[in-house]
Amino acid sequence: MRILKCALAGCGDIARGRYFYSFERMKDKTELIGVYDTDSERLHKTAEELRVKEYTDWKELLQDKEVEAVIVTSYHTTHARLVTEALNAGKHVLCEKPVATNLKDALMIKEAADKTNKIFMALPNDAYTHIREVKKMIGQGLIGNVCAVDGVFAHQGPLHAPWFFDKSVAEWGVLADLGIYPISMLTYLFGPVDEVYGKTNIMQRERTSLKGEKFNPTVEDNAVVVMSWKDGKMASIRANWCTAADKDLCVWEFRIYGDKGIIYINMNDSEHRVIVYSPYQKVSDSKITYAGFKDCYKIQVDMSDLNIDILEEFAEAVDKNQKFPEDGCSITRQVHVVEIIEGVYASSEKGNAVKIHSTFRH
């Protein structure tokens, strides 16, 4: 496998916490050769620290023939423009979530990705090892017919970066930061959603950043989403920045209810990552008591670094020139996810359920 030469647009927290770290550990497959950011001081410091090229002009990056792929980790509202321009410049692109903050922009990205025939990876990436195993178990009927799902993703909020709370910069609030993960994961597991209902609020009207600065949020920090599928299955999702938990040690879990069992997914618990309550059949040799139930089984799955997984999947897709399937990290499925979130906001404003029209092959 040849080494994929990449540039990164946006040198903030997600770039530092996920991609700089992953590039360092994937030198046999990828190389970060340059960075771009509109904050000149941050750009210069990052380029010096990483010993990579400093692009002060976005067009200069796009014109650099050495750059094969671009990773977009900038502010939410800039994603659609940067992704589209990078694709049209002949670059492969990996975009952080959300790919866009409205359906029109998401469809613009899809048009560019289809037209240029370049590899485009849209996050969230839901195809982690343990989630793939859950999808397989559901498909095999391990817990029977699934009727409902409960999901929650919550912490105290990204207080290290107050821009997340600013509508003029982020456009969307907790739904784009946290809610998008359970929404996206459930479309991966169960296919296109038929209808959505939701409610959003701003609970904490004044916040204090980690630097001690006071600010007033202008986007929602509390959201509840109800999604339904054509077969009658329903999911309730709660996402908030109002929970007394650090963003790196947050509440992130799911319960999938079937008529023959329950699947518990604990995203931040490596010891109990996937647990199956199965009173009618033996699932594995690792029988335990969990959540008060005796007939529970711990599912053994290969543990991997979720950050490295993302960069590795992207590099391998480019190397094989193989686009992601529609139910994978595709722009087609993320168009659907964007429409769901847009529908939640519309539902919260009008008080009624919203029909979802986009779809994907599942």
Q: Predicted confidence band at 214 (pLDDT cuts at 50, 70, 90)?
A: very high
Is residue 306 predicted with pLDDT exceeding 90?
A: no
Helix boundaries (H) for 15-128: 21-25, 40-50, 58-63, 79-88, 103-116
Residue 1 has pLDDT above 80, yes or no: no
Residue-level pLDDT at 316: 97
Architecture of domain 4-125+307-325: 3-Layer(aba) Sandwich (3.40)
User: What CA–CA distance (Å, rounded) separates 197 from 143?
Assistant: 26
DSSP state string for 173-198: -HIIIIIHHHHHHHHHHH----EEEE
For the chain, domain boundaries: 4-125+307-325, 129-302+339-355
Per-residue pLDDT at 68:
98
Per-residue confidence at 185, pLDDT binned at 50, 70, 90? very high
For position 210, what pLDDT does the model report? 95
Residue 303 scores a pLDDT above 80? no
Mean pLDDT score, 336-342? 98
Predicted pLDDT of residue 270: 83
Token readout for 63 is: 């014109």
Assess contact for 228 and 243: CB atoms under 8 A. no
State how far Cα 342 lies from the chain centre.
Answer: 16
The model's pLDDT over 8-45, given as tens digits with 9 standing for 90+, comes to 999 999 999 999 999 999 999 999 999 999 999 999 99
What architecture is the 129-302+339-355 domain classified under in CATH? 2-Layer Sandwich (3.30)
